[in-house]
Each structure stands twice: as C-alpha cells, then as structure tokens.
Structure 1
Amino acid sequence: MPALGSTLARRALGRQLNAFRKKAEISQAQAAKFLGISPQTMGRMEDGVSMRSATDLHVNELCNRYGVGDDKRRLVLALAREARIVAKHGGGWWRADADQGDGFDHYPVLLNSAQRMTAWRVVLLPEIVQTRDYQRAVAWAKYPSLPSDEIDKHIESSAKRQRPLDDSAFTVEILLSEAAIREEWGGPAVMAEQRRHLADIGRRSNVSIRVVPFQARSHIGALAGSFSLLEFPVLPHSKLVEPPVVHVEEYTGDLYLERAEEISRYRDAIAELRRVALSESDSSALILGI
C-alpha cells in the first residue's frame, strides 16, 4: 500500500479503533489498561494525533479485546503500517484505485467525520447530491464492462456516502459550473429528475447550492478543476483542531491534500467562485428552468 499523506492513515486508524471500542462497549480507560498506557495516550491515538502506541502488537491486542474479525483486523494493521511508513519516510498524496487492495476507502470516513464540506464541480455533480439513476449512468460510463450486480453494489455504496447530508450539524456548500447541470447523464428524463432533486436539496437549511453561469467572466474554477474541501470539528480527546483536507477524485484514483499552503490556495479559489456565482435563489431558478 503506498503512503498517503502526513496524517490521513493515522487519523483513519484512530477512527477505526474508536469505532471498534465503542461497539465492544469498552471504556477508553479500560482499553488503555489493556495496553499499559495512560488514557490520555489512548485518546491521542484514537484522535490520530499520536502513533507511539500503534504497534502491530498493540493493535492486535485491541482487536482481540474488541472481538474484531480477521478482515477488519487486517485493515487496521495495514493502516498502522502505512502510518508508520509515512512518519518515517514521508509520503505522497496519491491513492490509486489499483493499490486499494485492503478495501479501505478514506473518503467516506473523512466525510462522515467532517462538519463542513465545500465542493466545486466542473462537469459531474457531487456524489452527495446524485440521484440513483444519475449514479447508474455515471457508473456505466466509468465501468462499461462491469456486471449489473456490481454496478448495483457501487450505487449502494454511493448512497451510503449521502447520509451526512441528513445531519443538520453538517453543512454543505456546493458551487457548480453551469456545465454540470446541463450535461445529459442518462438522458433527459434522468436529468430532469436530478435537477428537481438538486433544487429540493438546496432548500435545506444546512445546504447551499450556487451555480457559476457560462457568462461569468474568466475565473479560477476551470483551472482548479473539481474538488472538495472537508473541514472537521475539534478532536474529542486532545482538543486539537483536526487539519482540513482537499479531496480530488480522478479517473484512476484519489488525491488528498493537507499542507497549509495547498489548503490556502483552494480557499482562495472558493472565494473567487463565490464572487462569480449566482445567488441561491437565482441558481435554483436556473436549475429548474433548464
């Protein structure tokens, strides 16, 4: 498994161990006692702040205590090894689809932990607001030789990624190129349903959807390309602010960016896109008008 970035693997490992512990109904103090470490150190490990205690021996011990099955055990051990490689040698930011043999997908885990998502899309609508028929059309285009039952599994997986939208504490800002709402994925009937769904979602109090029209003067959106900025709440144990992540979904994999200078440039791009985007009401009128 290739290295990701400086914190993604250890943050993912911490979240998985935290979820396993809670499912087993074991307190953090009890878990710390199993490993012979302080509850504070255990908390920092679950927050993804510290890797000092995330040895294979410790991770296996926790899996034994939590009653974790073999598949999930292999997953967290792979994350622990990845985190150690990154800490020792540094790592890149690219995660290719072909390298994800462990079956772990970082994006939905990050999305479920985030408190805010800001997305810009040039052609495809964000997965979080796609209808099933729209998802099916995209999946067939991306995987034309995939059997129908595998396409169905892909759509079910996509549907699970939309659950954060139902949490009123999770705020979503979506900025769309007009091309994204005019592109005919699946044909006119599919897109008519998708546009109505998009307008309905935009009425939620925790969602903002705005369109950058074709007549907007030259702006950074075409150069930046599609991306999502995920921002997170304060970590529960260490009380540190978890760094934001920019996620870029490409044809053969995913790019994750965490460095402050990179995040800053994407924030600047978002500010520019907000400047040229239509208001929420005008955007809704354009979407329904089409």
Structure 2
Amino acid sequence: MDFGHFISEVRKQSGRSALAAGLHLEVSRQTIMRLEEGLPTKLTTPQLTSLLDFYAASPDERTDAMALWREVKEQDRTAKAQGNSKGFWQAYADQLVPNFPRYLRLEGAANRMTSHQLVLVHGLLQTADYRRAIVKIDDPGLSPVNTERRIELAERRQARLEDSDFRMNFLFSEAVLRHQPGGPAVMAAQLRWLAEAGERDNLTIRVVPFGVGSHRGLTIQSFTLLEFPRGSSGLIVPPVIYLEGAIGALYHERDDVITQYREAISALESVALSEQDTRDLVLEVAKEYAA
C-alpha cells in the first residue's frame, strides 16, 4: 500500500474531511489532497504526527504510517540525488488522467509485475507509432505537440525495462496480436518489437491462443498485479491489483482479492503458449502484416 492511499484511508475512517485536516494543520485542503495523491508537499514529520493524532489513528496505523512516511522521505532523498525529485511524469501532468500518477508511482516502486491484457499491448511494451494510434483513438483532436509529449512520457516510463531487478510477466490474449491500431505496418513493427523484448532476462511474454477455448482470462478481464520489495524500514508492502477503465481505475489490496487474481494468473499460465511458441506466433503474425 503506498503512503498516500494509506493516509487517505486513515482519514476517511476517522470521519474527518480533507478541509478539516487542512484547518487542523493550518494548510490548504489542496495540500492534504496532494499528500493523499502521493504528490510532493512541504509537510514535516511533526505535522504528520499531529495529523495522525487528529485522525485518532490506532497504534498499528501509526506504526505503519510512520514506516511508509520514512520510505517516502528516503525515496525523495534518492530522487533528489539523481536530480529528479518530482517523478518523471510531473512534466506531463496535464496529459495524464487523474488516476494514473498513482499507478506510475506504484509501477516505479514495484520489483515484480504480472499483467494480463485482452485487447491492447501493455503500455510498457508499446512502440511509438502504436502509442500514437492509441492516442488518436482516445483524443483525435489532440495537437501534434501534446501527442508527442505523450509519446515522450511513454518512452520515459519504458526506462523500467532496463532495470534487471524489475521482473515482468506479460500474458496476452491472441486478440492483442490481431487488433490493428495504426494499421498493418504499425502492427508488424510492434510485434517484431515484442519478439525482441521477450528475449530480455527480466521479461516474459506468453500468448493465450484462441484455440484453448474457454479460460479464466475471458471473465476476469485485463489487470495488472504489482508486487514490491521489503522497504528499508522493514515494512512489507502488500501487492496491488490495478484495473484500468475508460473513465477511471480501481486499485485492490485485500488479501482475498489478491488471491483470486493469483489463481487467475496460474490458470492463464496453464493454457498460455511457451515463451518460444509465443515468439514464433508473434513473428508469424508480424509477417502476415508485412506481406
């Protein structure tokens, strides 16, 4: 669970509003909302302690909140040392839907990701032309300048592919290969890139072919499971399921929900092609598009 979401849940359970919390600390409501959205604020540790008092947080909540807060401060120090204290996506904030910065923070902190996609290639694996086609579908009137800014954002996000400590497992329906955002030429290049990306040691791509018939992925739909390393404070950060929709997103952290998705992943892996058979199919379809 990330700090912003955690402190938001503590506030809601206390029955306090963001405005009341801001008045208590003598800061604006927007400052509290930025804290809960995981955005940079100038709040101090004593102010956080006062906020927890105001929320009448339980001893366990206080312990977890302070452990997460130490993680946030440590990440801020690391980011500043690297010259990037705000997160790479902040420069593109006007191009992001409201729910997506939280996902980008989680993706940046994760050390393992498993994603099942029924329709589109996952954003971490999209080529620039494929991404442009998606942008045109969603926002056909977007200016060329802002279209390219979205491409830049996607490319900066893809820097995580180079992180050998970040394990990625992609399970794609064969439909992902058959849909054609941008047309055959764009798809041919996209699929060749998928085949190349699948050779990385920290990444696996497996396709669930149409021929397997009924399977769990048809009903559980697309999702991404993010898992995290133990923090320097020793806190175990629980996994998160992310569900992206056309007008919003959902985040699930309950143990029983996570278990359901883990079971779905096992069921999908039992019917998916091997990595080599997937690569052969991807290249075969790429040749069809290039013909």
Normalising to structure 2: TM-score of the pair? 0.69
CA distance in 2 between counterparts of 1:206 and 1:133 reads 24
Corresponding position: 1:267 with 2:254: no
State the superposition RMSD in angstroms.
Answer: 3.3
CA contact (8 A) 1:135 1:155 kept: yes
Corresponding position: 1:161 with 2:185: no
**SS of equivalent residue, structure 1 residue 117:** strand
CA distance in 2 between counterparts of 1:196 and 1:8 reads 43
Corresponding position: 1:136 with 2:97: no
CA distance in 1 between counterparts of 2:137 and 2:49 reads 52
CA distance in 2 between counterparts of 1:41 and 1:128 reads 31
Corresponding position: 1:256 with 2:280: no
* Counterparts of residues 160-199 of structure 1 (less than 5 Å): 160-199=156-195
What is the CA-CA distance between 1:203 and the residue it aligns to? Answer: 0.2
* Counterparts of residues 1-290 of structure 1 (less than 5 Å): 6=6, 13=35, 43-47=67-71, 97=97, 100=98, 105-237=101-233, 239-290=234-285
Deviations 1:175-194 (CA, angstroms, capped at 9, x unpaired): 00000011111111111110
CA distance in 1 between counterparts of 2:231 and 2:266 reads 27
Query: What amino acid is aligned across from residue 212 of structure 1 in structure 2?
Result: V
CA distance in 2 between counterparts of 1:141 and 1:252 reads 14
CA contact (8 A) 1:229 1:245 kept: yes
CA distance in 1 between counterparts of 2:174 and 2:155 reads 24
Alpha-carbon distance change, 222 to 5 in structure 1, aligned in 2, over 3 angstroms: farther
Deviations 1:217-252 (CA, angstroms, capped at 9, x unpaired): 311111111111000000111x12101111111111
The aligned length equals 225
What is the CA-CA distance between 1:47 and the residue it aligns to? Answer: 3.0
CA distance in 1 between counterparts of 2:239 and 2:176 reads 25
CA contact (8 A) 1:174 1:209 kept: yes
**SS of equivalent residue, structure 1 residue 161:** helix
**SS of equivalent residue, structure 1 residue 236:** coil
Deviations 1:71-108 (CA, angstroms, capped at 9, x unpaired): x7xxxxxxxxxxxxxxxxxxxxxxx94xx3xx971111
What is the CA-CA distance between 1:46 and the residue it aligns to? Answer: 2.9
CA distance in 1 between counterparts of 2:138 and 2:39 reads 30
What is the CA-CA distance between 1:9 and the residue it aligns to? Answer: 8.0
What is the CA-CA distance between 1:206 and the residue it aligns to? Answer: 0.4
Normalising to structure 1: TM-score of the pair? 0.69
Alpha-carbon distance change, 44 to 244 in structure 1, aligned in 2, over 3 angstroms: closer
What is the CA-CA distance between 1:150 and the residue it aligns to? Answer: 1.6
Percent identity among equivalent residues?
39
CA distance in 2 between counterparts of 1:263 and 1:7 reads 21
